[in-house]
Amino acid sequence: MFSDELNKISWDEVSKEIYAKTDADVRRALQKEYCDVNDFMALISPAAEPYLEQMAFLSRHYTEERFGKTISLFIPLYLTNSCVNSCLYCGFHVTNPMPRTILTIEQIEDEFKAIKELGPFENILLVTGENPVKAGVPYLAKALDLAKRYFDNLKIEVMPLKSEEYAELIKHGLNGVICFQETYNRSRYNIYHPRGMKADFEWRLNGFDRMGQAGVHSIGMGVLIGLEDWRTDVTMMAYHLRYLQRKYWRTRYSVNFPRMRPAENGGFQPNVVMSDKELAQLTFAMRIFDHDVDISFSTRETPYIRDNMATLGVTTMSAESKTEPGGYYTYPEVLKQFDVDDARTAKEIFQRLKELGREPVWKDWDSSFDILTK
């Protein structure tokens, strides 16, 4: 399990290494066709800031070499805002006095139909709070069974599950799982996650191993930018990514770097603020580090940032996202998990990507592939 590997890596020592990187370390990394984690640390270090233009050139080159000019579009559907966790930064936390909504199967189908009116989406991400009693595996299985009638590529972003539970959901059409470790800083993790299922650092961390063991086709990972030093956190994620690629080499991987957005519960302020320039540096560094990984930007980011990064390293984007259950149909408005910053319609995003010389695609998986992978 990766928790054993992480125990061998010192957070403090990694931080020192990153900030000790020199100009020579950066130039050495840029000259290598295939980088290791040590090179990645150089590319995200302050020493790399004068090399952003060269990094952008390499990032675009490797992206187009591997992915062409395609940008895959997906849409998230929040099935519930019911959650047993008390994450300090999230509007869904259990102590927040708010109406809780769990969509019925009938309401979920209404949402699917409404989404299809927005554009020919085939990639959907089903999202829930963490409430295994009311929105556990049986509920997810029913939602996936229904989703198969409308979409070809089905992913979930839910509580970490057992390996056999992931395997069970694959039988119901599941193609991918996204899970955010939020932060790899073990010593401070419970400051942000004091109670609930999510308070178990090791269970969440080793969830990616359980996905791999179950044969999940696509695994998405990420850290929440704003909790801890972002450079150290993403380096830990780079170690994690390399570990998973070695052990579960048949699986496809994606990464995401969500910057913290205001939640409606107010109160929590990010400990770290990442600038647009730093987000670009991280994106370029990740692409140079791994030519094959899918890099995803959500509607948390502004249209300006998403448009620019679409030509320089990003390969997947969400579009016309609603972050509250029932957000695509006419259900009463409930609390959103966070505010979006790119409020353009899916068709507007599609058209803008075309203008930028990209090839936006609504579909990158076919249900017939499920037969081949069984």
- What range does the domain containing 98 cover? 2-373
**In angstroms, what CA-CA distances link 249 with 33, 235, 337?**
20, 20, 33
Considering only CA atoms, which of 12, 72, 13 is closest in space to residue 353?
Answer: 72
Rounded Cα gap, residues 144 and 129, in angstroms: 16
Residue 48 DSSP label:
G
pLDDT at 156: 98
Q: Is a pLDDT exceeding 70 seen at residue 211?
A: yes
Note the pLDDT of residue 331. Answer: 62
Give me 272's structure tokens. Answer: 């770290």
CATH number at residue 197: 3.20.20.70
Q: What is the mean pLDDT of the chain?
A: 92
> CA-CA distance, 304 to 308, in Å (whole number)?
6
Overall domain count for the chain: 1
Task: Read off the pTM.
Answer: 0.94
Among candidates 296, 301, 320, which has minimal Cα distance to 76?
320
| Contact between 79 and 101 (Cβ < 8 Å) | no
pLDDT of 265 reads 43
Question: What Å distances lie between residue 174 and 92, 158, 292, 293, 361, CA to CA?
Answer: 25, 12, 22, 20, 20
Handedness of CA 364, 366, 367, 372 (dihedral sign): negative
Asked which of 97-101, 167-171, 261-265 is least confident by mean pLDDT, the reply is 261-265
